[in-house]
Chains A and B, each alone.
Chain A
Amino acid sequence: MMRSLYSIIFLFLSSLLAVSAQDNSVVLKGKVLDSADGYPLIGVSVTVEGRSGGTITDVDGQYELKIPKQQCEVVFSYVGYDDKVIRYNLKNDSAFSKVVMYMNVTQLADVVVTGVYERKKESFTGASATFKSDQLKSVGTSNVLQSLSTLDPSFKMMESTQFGSNPNVMPEIEIRGKTSVVGLKEEYGTDPNQPLFILDGFETSIETIMNLNMNRVASVTILKDAASTAIYGSKASNGVVVIETKAPARGRLQLSYKGDFGLSLADLSDYNLMNAREKLEFETLAGVYKDNSGDPFAQLRLDDLRNRRLLEIERGVDTYWLSEPVRAGFTHKHNIYAEGGEDKIRYGIGLSLGNTDGVMKGSDRQTLEGNVDLIYRTGKFQFSNKLSINWLDVSNPTVSFAEYAYANPYYRKRDADGGIEKYLYYPEDGVDDYPVSNPLWNAHLNNWDKASGFGFTNNFIFEWFMTESLRMRAKFGLTKQDDDEQTRLSPQHTQFDDVGETEKGLYTHTQIKELVYEGDVAVTFGKLLAEKHMLNAVGGFNFSNNHRRIYGYSATGFTDDQFDAPSFANGYPVGDSPDYSESLKRAASFYINGGYAYAERYLLDFNYRLDGASMFGTGNRFRNTWSVGTGWNIHNEPFLKDSDFFSLLKLRGSVGNPGNQNFSAYQAFSTYKFNGWMTNIFGTGVILNALGNTELSWQETTNYDVGVDLTFWGERINITYDYYWKHTDPLLAIITTPGSMGVTSVAMNAGSQKTRGWEATMRISPVYRPSEGIMWNISLNATSSKSQYADIGNSFSALNESGKTSLVGTTRYYDGGSPTAIWAVRSAGIDPATGRELFIKKDGTYSFTYDVNDEVVVGDTQPKVEGLLGTSLYFKGLSIGCYLRYRYGGQVFNSSLFQKVENIGTQEVYNNQDKRALYDRWSENNREAYFKGISLVQRTEKSSRFVMDDNSLVGESFNIGYEFPDRIVRRMRMGALNVQLNMTDMFRATSVRVERGIDYPFARTVTMSLGITF
């Protein structure tokens, strides 16, 4: 009430002043307000059409503009809002006292947020993609990354055959493919291909992004090429994902609730296991019940064993073990957010709760997050602070899914009384045979594997709007995260069958403490000169410090299953010492970015960054990153200006050399350790622990990109196409060395990798009536890339050798070879006459003898093209969407056939196997078989017979949503109400059948989401 009184008085006074101005010029005064909430807009530029100079509104939205006393047009412009033009006709001063501006929804989406600076998409030369909160939520509700992979073809979330849908395993993420040699992750513990994640302007971890409640996210921008990522210098070669959370909105206190309720079911359709009768038949054919020792009693025993099993089968025993560890997983996530405030102070307080039950029993993930957002603005200063506090509680099943897949179907799960027996089969005394343990036994014990975490992040940003075109910003972010992991194995676990009483049971405890801080000071300049020359510049300094410590110990000697406190342990395992490790990484950088646009037609961007990082040797501590980008907005050319056909037609290209520093903290140091195991009269001794390489160069990727952005036919067709070429040189790799070097492996720069690829997204809207809320979109995106090694020579020969001798390794490292190629000896199939595999040698001749040196490329796991096909329909408040993922032209080495059909040895035959192990096997009666005859001793080598085309179509996301119309919502005393139903991975059609989800099955999920605003 007081405010409006003040403004009335002020307006009155200001109009008086305007009138009393001199005759040849006049001063226009007034206030600019937002149409949505009536609050003042700060920093709106006010200019006279056709003249240079102008002013901007102050913190109260007030402005004062001196103009010549003549008719003219006054332009109000503000990022994200429609320009407002008011004609001054010498006497309508009052029309300028209160100017209302309208937000331009489409335009806001057209801003590229890099986390360091923002730029209009139209004048940006980099390759990037921005997605808004509702887009992300419409394709999935589990997490931001999952949704991104559905929306952008270059953002790939690698499917984990091993860990399936385990909610506690972090996914592997790649943007535009790998730039680093495999094997480094194991060595360094950090994924060297992982992109950089920026949350609200600060670097963060993939775990934080995975835990982030999607309802807090405002937008996500993926930066792909050198021009857009180079501002992050040496961390940017894998691409950057910039996530902005919602900022509190002005207005009266507003409360919103968002909830997701999901149901997941295990997808076991890839398992093709034998039933009891098939398994027994297979064992019989394989000769399990045939004695070779010539001892008649042994044969009697085996006959008896088989008969007893057969009897059980006749009684109807056909156990389906896979159903035992799985369950229907219920997931619920809630987010409550209260926001409000006026122009000086805005606040938001939120609470998010997430509870994900995985599809395996005992697999849970609970997150609780509280956040407080504050924005305070006074004069030319703005302070904003985001605080978030999070708790995490996870638990994992202690028996892997694979153990259930191994269990034979002719065993009963439980005994007659419903009890669980420790062994499904226990050999009689004196029989040289292994006992078979019951997976349910270990599962029913008091074993656990759990972790909890607590952390907070506080990000503070100070901004000083020095002048209209000059702004200074200082940021400081602090993150503290403490995690605690504990596992316990009961003394009755089968693992402890053969150890002494005092060594049974195992408890391990690991604590991880992490402290990260990051600071950044930057000055931003942006000015339109002479109406044609748009200049943007950012320069700043950034430093970060990441300190991580890990403590751990284990204890053993438990006597009881039930009482599991670590204090009941008998002691520490013999010879075990406490774990302690720490890493301290520091980085300091200077950066500068400049952009120039001439008449919004010709664009030029450049970036330069000087990075220093503690991980690199004193000889190579600093590194330069640069990039240059250029673009041409053809649609703004005079010859197209009059045509409305193209609303966007842009050609752009960029080149730069972002680097990668996802490496271990102390790789450049030679470090020493105490001998530990012995001292002598001379005292202690130390020897080399790890050999550092002070000359180690930063891995650097020269990145070229050319692209076109096209929007035409009344915005109905939207196409983006990019062709890129990446050259990583040198690669950084752990190379196996001759033992005479004194170490068996060393971090070295060796060779290079070249990748070429393209990606395209196309959106067509056959029906496009946004004003009526009716729209039908069809989207198709596709990506393809090819990589090859160069100049690696023999550096990786040891890896090649171990690949050749390993059971399933098909990756080789040769010049000209692709990192994803499948190497194996070509096979001509099974010889009908003999049942032996016929190989094709390198020179094309046939041979029955397998020679590992005949290996050639027989396939590539990288598909020729992959992407998503989607459609979405909006009709008033109703929306329906459907996204299908396709892969075409890739191959896979079918390890299920290789290990669970052939290569079943005397050990493996006791596990349940793939049905195909019984059928289509060569025998005297089935000579045209694809697989060799059943044998426990015959070894099958890696050949092209197991390489299969891997084409697939997956129903990745289906959704239907409804946004209730205003009149109904008002009647219910709400601000907004929407519901949505989302289904993920509903079907999967593939050309090859391979077991997926070895340790943890995949899942199909249905989620219902609800959003209410009061």
Chain B
Amino acid sequence: MLTVVLSSCDAWLDVKPYDKMSQDELLSSEAGYMKLLNGIYIELNRDMLYGGAMSMEMIEIMGGAYVIGTNNSVWGNYADLAEYEYGTDYWRARFNETWNKAYSLILNCNLLLENLETTDVRFTGDNYKIIKGEALALRAMLHFDMLRLFGPVYSRNPEALSIPYYKVYSVVPNERLSASEVAAEITRDLHEARILLANDPVRTSGTMASAPSDGASSFMHYRNLRLNYYAVTALLARSGLYFGDNDAAYKYSTEVIEAAREVFPFVDRNLVSGSPDDPDRIFSSEVIFALTHSQRNTVFKGYFDPSRIPNYVFRMDNDLMSNVIYGGGATTGGSQDDYRYRVNWVATGANRYFYKYSDMVDSGSITNTMIPMIRLGEMYLIAAESRSSGLEAGVSYVNLLRAARGVSKLPTLTMETLQYEYIRELYGEGQLFFMYKRMFSPVIFSATASRNPQPSDAIFVVPLPSTETDN
């Protein structure tokens, strides 16, 4: 009797909020999981993550990509960052914001994964595995970037205490782990994701970068805008190299390179050579995983558009550009014939400005929204660096890439020329700082070596937010 009354009471007391979506309601269908997964991808576009700070703004300044002036009223707090003064109130708050946002998305991944474990929702086709695999990969990718930003210089100090790795939602804070333990977790998650994504349609049907013609759900289309099977493989290559596992880095990067012929072909040179009106500036066909940011052009205008003058505009040091990156001949590998120079660097007055993120004329195109997260070019550079027989042998991979960029072969490969190639290929994509940190080498701000900051923990290790260390 009492049990009956109590259970009916329980039902009556089970109130669902109307002005918010409760977890039970949202995750009661496959569509709910898809919305949550999509929500996480969308949030990656926030300006404290890859819509700004972690792709083209904060992290690129730390990577020495831009000329930063000293005039306070123009450059504001950027001068402090270019001096690696991480302790100022402004930059502490900014790093805090990035950290909090990354981990809040990790929490979203964990909630999704946890509910996925226990759900009785029936998923169509391989969707269960795809969703789970992508969520795992997102979790690994966010942890990886937080480790690269806040962790020790891995190559020198892999056992140092770094960041916590959250695998389940918990109201008790997790302990911080050593960098190598975090590395193991990242690798484990990426491996699991790769197995789950084994049936990813990208392997059979390519990226399918257009909407289904019958008006059906796009969920399984645009695989290059999702952490697809190859993107996870590419992340394994990137993380393998970072964690000093060259065999893994070589194995996975070459796997992607192998598959890319079909799936991620080099950009159509007609789109970039000569003087096309409407170049594909991000080389969209080569992008293994990109975010889709609906206001990317606004972001471009906020950082790179020369019409911002007299406000700050991010661009490369003139000397560095003309004498090293896109000049200097065989010793640097720089050439003005480089497609990357011709389509991405537009002259206004005495300077050239960076147009990678500017819209193509076809304003409705999906390529106008893409923020590349990992691209084919990086796989060639990883393969070159991780090839067991050393850099000398790896030059062939760099030359394959260079051939697709319309520039001549390099006779040999050195650490410097490899770094220059990184700058050419990945400029404005948030990878340069991590490369210098990985190699523990000076950060190339300028063509004059003496003006480039020497490697040190002070510049490469960003202090953890104070809420982490106090608790």
Chain B 36-55: CB-based contact to A (< 8 A → 1; otherwise 0):
11111111010000000000
Partner of B36, one of A621, A685, A692, A736: A685
A670 to B171, CA, bound (A): 13
Shortest beta-carbon distance from B168 to chain A in Å: 11
A797 engages B470 (CB within 8 Å): yes
Report whether over half of chain B's contact residues are helix, strand or loop; otherwise say mixed: helix
Shortest beta-carbon distance from B332 to chain A in Å: 39
Shortest beta-carbon distance from A487 to chain B in Å: 23
A746 to B171, CA, bound (A): 8
Chain A 586-609: CB-based contact to B (< 8 A → 1; otherwise 0):
111000000000000000000000
Nearest residue (CB) in B for A622 is: B6
Chain A 731-773: CB-based contact to B (< 8 A → 1; otherwise 0):
0000011111111101010000000000000000000000000
Shortest beta-carbon distance from B141 to chain A in Å: 16
A529-570: which residues lie under 8 A (CB-CB) from chain B? 543
Shortest beta-carbon distance from B258 to chain A in Å: 29
A737 engages B15 (CB within 8 Å): no
Interface membership of A688, Cβ < 8 A: yes
Query: A743 with B17: in contact, given A681-B222, A686-B35 (CB under 8 Å)?
Result: no
A695 to B171, CA, bound (A): 10
Tally A residues with Cβ within 8 Å of B. Answer: 57
A584 engages B42 (CB within 8 Å): no
Chain A residues whose C-beta falls within 8 Å of the C-beta of B457 in the assembled complex? none
Chain A residues whose C-beta falls within 8 Å of the C-beta of B105 in the assembled complex? 687, 742
B99 engages A740 (CB within 8 Å): yes
B41 engages A737 (CB within 8 Å): no
Interface membership of A693, Cβ < 8 A: yes
Query: A688 with B471: in contact, given A580-B19, A666-B17 (CB under 8 Å)?
Result: no
A672 to B38, CA, bound (A): 13
Query: A679 with B294: in contact, given A669-B17, A686-B39, A742-B106 (CB under 8 Å)?
Result: yes
Q: Which of B20, B40, B295 has the most CB of A within 10 A?
A: B20
B470 engages A612 (CB within 8 Å): no
Query: A680 with B294: in contact, given A582-B18, A670-B111 (CB under 8 Å)?
Result: yes
B111 engages A688 (CB within 8 Å): yes
A394-453: which residues lie under 8 A (CB-CB) from chain B? none
B17 engages A584 (CB within 8 Å): yes
B470 engages A689 (CB within 8 Å): no
A581 to B20, CA, bound (A): 9
Partner of A689, one of B20, B37, B96, B100: B20
A740 engages B42 (CB within 8 Å): no
B103 engages A741 (CB within 8 Å): yes
Interface membership of B174, Cβ < 8 A: yes
A612 to B470, CA, bound (A): 37
Interface membership of B315, Cβ < 8 A: no
Chain A residues whose C-beta falls within 8 Å of the C-beta of B369 in the assembled complex? 680
Shortest beta-carbon distance from B199 to chain A in Å: 19
B294 engages A740 (CB within 8 Å): no
B15 engages A678 (CB within 8 Å): no
Interface membership of A798, Cβ < 8 A: yes
- Interface 9-residue window, one of B21-29, B120-128, B441-449: B21-29
A119 to B225, CA, bound (A): 72
Chain A residues whose C-beta falls within 8 Å of the C-beta of B163 in the assembled complex? 740
Partner of B211, one of A586, A681, A684: A681
Nearest residue (CB) in B for A588 is: B9
Chain A residues whose C-beta falls within 8 Å of the C-beta of B225 in the assembled complex? 680-682
Interface membership of A683, Cβ < 8 A: yes
B103 engages A686 (CB within 8 Å): no
Shortest beta-carbon distance from B181 to chain A in Å: 15
Interface membership of B10, Cβ < 8 A: yes
Interface membership of A665, Cβ < 8 A: yes
A672 engages B20 (CB within 8 Å): yes
Partner of B12, one of A583, A586, A794: A586
Q: Which of A612, A675, A740 has the most CB of B within 10 A?
A: A740
A742 engages B15 (CB within 8 Å): no
Chain A residues whose C-beta falls within 8 Å of the C-beta of B363 in the assembled complex? none
Chain B 284-323: CB-based contact to A (< 8 A → 1; otherwise 0):
0000000011110000000000000000000000000000
B: residues with CB less than 8 A from A are: 6, 9-10, 12-15, 17-23, 26, 32, 34-43, 45, 96, 99-100, 103-108, 110-111, 163-164, 166, 169-171, 173-174, 211, 217-219, 222, 225, 292-295, 366, 369, 465-468, 470-471
- 5 smallest beta-carbon distances between A and B, as pairs: A742-B107, A685-B39, A671-B20, A685-B38, A739-B100
Interface pairs (9), CB distance under 8 Å: A543-B12, A582-B18, A584-B17, A675-B39, A678-B45, A688-B108, A739-B104, A740-B173, A743-B104
Q: A582-B19, A670-B23, A681-B211 are in contact. List 5 more A-B contacts (CB 8 A).
A: A622-B6, A669-B20, A681-B292, A741-B170, A744-B100
